[in-house]
Amino acid sequence: MRVWSLIFRACALHLCLASVPSFAEVFKMSCEVVGSIDQPEEKKFVPTKVGIEIQSIGKNIFINLTGPKLYEMRISSLSTEKFTGKNLTNADHLGVSSKSVESAQMSEIVIGREKVDLKAYKDTVYAGAPVRLQLQGPCLLP
């Protein structure tokens, strides 16, 4: 009986160590983007540099866009109680879209594979009015 107990403990320890979760690496790059708002009249912002962090965990993609506060986004293909996400990745581009369940605000980030350019938008409030901020520009691979 003691032998079986030792074998069981050894197997349990092996399973515990083998199932330690591994974290997906984060891919980082930078982009030079121009932001614009079409409503009520077209407004273009000064070009700025933003950082992009891309992480894939299971079948879900997480993309963080960092830079000036107006441009910051954190979206994923994961669907939760607060957001419905969608993976837009195909042979031409890597992308994610997300929609808030509460406010119906949408955001989307698409990165072209061949030209490596960023196209994104997000619904936000600018100067007291709800608007859609469009971002576009080339990216530099690390």
Question: What are the structural domain ranges in the chain?
Answer: 24-140
Q: What is the CATH number of domain 24-140?
A: 2.40.160
List, in sequence order, every residue forming a beta bridge with 9; answer none if it has no partner. none
pLDDT of 19 above 70 = no
Q: Which residue, chain included where needed, has tokens 């520009």?
A: 137
- 115 φ, ψ (degrees, to nearest 5): -85, -15
Q: pLDDT tens for residues 35-48?
A: 999 877 788 999 99
Q: pLDDT tens for residues 83-126?
A: 999 999 999 999 999 999 999 999 999 999 988 999 999 999 88
pLDDT of 82 above 80 = yes
Per the document, the length of the chain is 142
The SS3 call for residue 22 is coil
